[in-house]
Amino acid sequence: MGAFSGVVFNLEFAEQFGAATPWLSLLVAGLVGGLFSIIHAAATVHFRADHVVSGTVLNLMAPALAVFLVKVLYNKGQTDNLSQTFGRFDFPVLANIPVIGDIFFKSTSLLGYLAIAFSFLAWFILFKTRFGLRLRSVGEHPQAADTLGINVYKMRYLGVIISGFLGGIGGAIYAQSISVNFSVTTIVGPGFIALAAMIFGKWNPIGAMLSSLFFGLSQSLAVIGSQLPFLQGVPAVYLQIAPYVLTILVLAAFFGKAVAPKADGINYIKSK
């Protein structure tokens, strides 16, 4: 829903806001993602539905709803291409550094560096602030948190809504920097790869960021693999499925070793 709402906002307001449109679209996408996630929060926290079932239903419903709305709004199966996208970014001064500047700081994605910085901010919030410690406590031992006066239901609602907000932003970034439009195939699989990155990163924001870089590298091989001498003989289809194969291998290898929060996926019933 974040990708859909971000693209629609971009298309409708590109003339009014110009180059600022993609950035404003992130805010809109985040708000839509947060609102949409309230459905999951209400189902799992308030009505105590199974987390996997609720998440699966929403994952099936969201793409179908988005494509239906595209058909209603634009009378076709996909939107037009965006005129305002994030494009490429050159870092001042740093882009002029020999070799390193060409690799890391020239014609690159500013959002990629912002995402890396945000992972450190998320780690600080989760592990060093009062809010983060409370949020983690309701995922580890909600009964103990409740006895200390923490509103478990409120914190769990906030956790789900924040994740929906960030997920919406992620979808809008993907749609406005890679696909530059919205269709049924715009978001196919990256969310599940993100889950694998979270498990691979042991539920730590910095670990998840490093895992995401690993999966991003595997995805980029499908684009630049033919230009690398040692991959020129590999069929393109193998490079395209590589990220998903790696996801399965990572889950198989690390799922038992990565310890999830003890109350992850478990409904909480307040003691009477």
Ordered by start, the domain boundaries in the chain are: 2-188, 189-261
Neighbours of 75 (CB within 10 A): 7
Task: Give the residue ranges of the chain where pLDDT is below 70.
Answer: 225-228, 230, 254-258, 271-272
**Residue 54 confidence (pLDDT):** 93
**Residue 254 confidence (pLDDT):** 66
Q: At what angle do helices 21-41 and 51-74 cross, to 10 degrees?
A: 140
Backbone angles phi, psi at 151, to 5 degrees: -80, 100
Mean pLDDT of the chain: 87
**Residue 183 confidence (pLDDT):** 86
Which residues in 39-159 belong to E strands, given as ranges?
A: none
**Residue 101 confidence (pLDDT):** 83
∠ Cα 167 121 28 (to 5°): 35
Name, in order, each residue with C-beta under 8 angstroms of 113's C-beta and a sequence gap of 6 or more. Answer: none
